[in-house]
Structure 1
């Protein structure tokens, strides 16, 4: 099995957040890999990873980083692949990482999700891949329908809750 998505994090301390992306990809049966790479501590390894990812069959990269959060942008600068950045709440409530990832210069975009938003990064990676893969597209459609069904059920359940002045 060859990975189609790479989950990259600056440190294994980010794993509790990034497991949500891994679990989502696993549920969609999308092969993925996970690596710890640091834009500051292992810049040569980051360059090697980013420049070789496409030829290894990677289609989307999810890169997480906290604080200065350069990892997603550095990877995006060295690959033609879409990069999804996950700001990690490490300091300043994650706002420093969010701004560092979202404020990329023209020509080097990084799709950015919410602070600690690894699950949405996994969903976005899946949606990107669904454009060229009918099997993934059908699973994504079913997933979206399941989200809708949860809200419909919740609304039905709310109707059963009784209060003296509740009107619906």
Structure 2
């Protein structure tokens, strides 16, 4: 069975997915490659996802719904690659990065298929603990709360731990500094800083690493749990968590 599913929405995304395939081949990681659209061929997407994988790399441009649709249907980590089209790929980047709390996609920079493949390789090595990195803020507090709910061993630190899965909380307007260690980046901003111009900073600063949405500590934590679950340790709790999310949404319709 292949470890990784590489799923892109269009042949036009070849610039990104070619990097993914070349890097996976170089690292001798097994994969299946498919092209299917969340909008045009949703039945094909459903069929493809019947097969289980340890990691999914999904990419799309424009509205870029595919990675989010995949994330809603699987419990494994989903790496999203925004593909360039209009607006320098900003539309796709925000569509993938700004997922609702509880359904994370770990977003690369625009067209950065090489980053996605490298991240998949890191995930497949396996981790057993998480480190919350950065100054205290509400997003970090939420992430810690979620990790505790899943009984994930976690600590806090000012620097990354090369032996752990790091959740780094950094100012949204700042480029992350290069450090040893694998990380999920969560950009943070105060309410008065949350303006449309911040999107351009995210477009620039996400050129390396994996990202969740602004102040979205929940998705940083759930993304971490999905990575830590590659061996199946947290599957039951992830299923229960998803059911809770479903019940919350459906309650509004009663």
- Is this a same-fold pair by TM over 0.5? yes
Which blocks of at least 5 consecutive residues in structure 1 are unaligned? Answer: 133-144, 146-168
Any residues of structure 2 matched to 1:48-67 within 5 Å, and which?
48-50=47-49, 52-54=50-52, 58-67=53-62
Q: Which has the higher strand share?
A: 2
Q: Distance in 2 between matches of 1:68 and 1:40?
A: 10
Q: What's the CA shift for 1:65?
A: 0.3
Counterpart residue number, 2:94: 99
SS of 2:43's partner is: helix
Which blocks of at least 5 consecutive residues in structure 2 are unaligned? Answer: 128-179, 181-254
Any residues of structure 2 matched to 1:3-152 within 5 Å, and which?
3-50=2-49, 52-54=50-52, 58-131=53-126
Q: What's the CA shift for 1:53?
A: 3.0
Q: What's the CA shift for 1:84?
A: 0.3
Q: Which has the higher helix share?
A: 1
Which structure has more relative contact order (CA 8 Å, sep 6+)? It is 1
Runs of 4+ in 1 over 2 A off after TM superposition: none
From the CA coordinates, give the structure whose radius of gyration is larger: 1
**Are the equivalent residues in 1 in contact too, given 2:15–2:111 (CA < 8 A)?**
no
Q: How many residues align?
A: 128
Q: CA RMSD in A?
A: 1.4
